Amino acid sequence: MKELTPARVLRYGLILTGVLTFVAALFLWLSPNATLLQGFSVFLLLLLLLVSVLIYRKLVINFMDARTETRNAAAQQQALLYLFQKIEPRRALPQMRSYAASPDFLCLLYDLIREHKPHVVVECGGGVSTLISGYALEQNGSGRVLALEHDARYAAATEREIQRHGLQQRASVLHAPLTEAAVGEYRIPWYDLRGLPEELRIDLLVVDGPPSTLHELARYPAFPLLRERLSEQAVILADDCIRPAERRMVEMWAKEMPGLTIQWVMTEKRAAVLVV
């Protein structure tokens, strides 16, 4: 289906108006009944008024959407400039936004790492965020990030990016295929954690995977299954909280551990920062 742009709406409206005018003229020419003509004329005028209102409403909606997108694009460009200024990447960074993390979320991730100085960062879902984490940890002078990735090809691609950026000392990827996890009353496909060292204590947990298409609560198991591995002052960062399922997930975590504090952050896809 073609996008209903303002120009297309206006064109369709003019065509419809022309057709109605032609039908009205033909009807008036053929009909000898004056009362019927008056009634039809009023009906036609009301119909044209309705069409005009609908066209105007669609134009306003499209204008507001375009203005919102323009503002958001400007905000993402500003965040990207901030990010480049802070990390000074040695190579070009992979694509951001869409399915990948947005620049403003990556800025939030960078700032959290620089502020809290975690020794261990675990990412549920890797990619460009793994590189940002690696650069931030490199600037801290300590710490490592481990990204869990269920897709073998994507895990290999992220590993190549880590090497290309020279971040092997700070970042790595663990290929963790999805397996059914029993979490309370739910059975959810989640990362196989057998490759995760038992002694690992997580200071920052970043939840941006697995894909939400796998299950309504695809990312919910992150806290229940990794809770015992969180350090005493751990921070959890969740992306995509603009989606109802992710907001519900965060609220479920908070109920499971009443001491959790939640801060909702107005990034492009909305984020949540939880402190244990």
- Based on its alpha-carbon atoms, the radius of gyration of the chain, rounded to whole angstroms, reads 27
Examine the domain organization and report whether 163 and 229 are in the same domain: yes
Q: Does residue 115 lie within any of the structural domains?
A: yes
Examine the domain organization and report whether 56 and 167 are in the same domain: no
Rounded to whole angstroms, the Cα distance separating 151 from 85 reads 31
Helix (H, G, I), strand (E, B) or coil at 34: helix
Q: Does residue 89 lie within any of the structural domains?
A: no
**For position 40, what pLDDT does the model report?**
62
Of 18, 47, 79, the last residue of a domain is 79
Q: What is the pTM of this model?
A: 0.77
Closest CA to 236 of 276, 177, 264: 276
CA dihedral 154, 157, 159, 165 (to 10 degrees): -140
Examine the domain organization and report whether 74 and 118 are in the same domain: no
**For position 28, what pLDDT does the model report?**
59
Q: Does residue 87 lie within any of the structural domains?
A: no
Examine the domain organization and report whether 23 and 125 are in the same domain: no
**For position 184, what pLDDT does the model report?**
87
Examine the domain organization and report whether 62 and 104 are in the same domain: no
- Residue 52: which domain range? 6-79
Of 79, 112, 141, the last residue of a domain is 79
Q: Does residue 224 lie within any of the structural domains?
A: yes
Q: Does residue 154 lie within any of the structural domains?
A: yes
pLDDT, one tens digit for every residue, the chain (276 residues): 455 565 666 666 667 666 666 666 666 566 655 565 566 666 666 766 777 777 777 766 766 666 666 777 788 899 999 999 999 999 999 888 667 789 999 999 999 999 999 999 999 999 999 999 999 999 999 999 999 999 999 999 999 999 999 999 999 999 999 999 999 899 999 999 999 998 999 999 999 999 988 999 999 999 999 999 999 999 999 999 999 999 999 999 999 998 889 999 999 999 999 998
Q: Are 267 and 97 in contact (CB under 8 A)?
A: no
Rounded to whole angstroms, the Cα distance separating 125 from 147 reads 6
* DSSP secondary structure letter of residue 20: H
Backbone angles phi, psi at 78, to 5 degrees: -65, -40
Helices (H) and strands (E) in the chain, counts: 7, 9
Examine the domain organization and report whether 105 and 67 are in the same domain: no
Contacts (Cβ under 8 Å, ≥6 apart) of 237? 108, 109, 112, 204, 205, 206, 207, 271, 272, 273, 274
Residue 170 is which amino acid? Answer: R
On the 0-12 / 13-18 / 19+ scale of CB atoms within 10 A, 191 is: buried
CATH number at residue 186: 3.40.50.150
Examine the domain organization and report whether 74 and 119 are in the same domain: no
Q: Does residue 212 lie within any of the structural domains?
A: yes
What is the enclosing helix (H) or strand (E) of 193?
none
Examine the domain organization and report whether 111 and 174 are in the same domain: yes
CA dihedral 235, 74, 167, 240 (to 10 degrees): 40
Q: Does residue 141 lie within any of the structural domains?
A: yes
Q: How many domains does the chain have?
A: 2
Q: Does residue 90 lie within any of the structural domains?
A: no
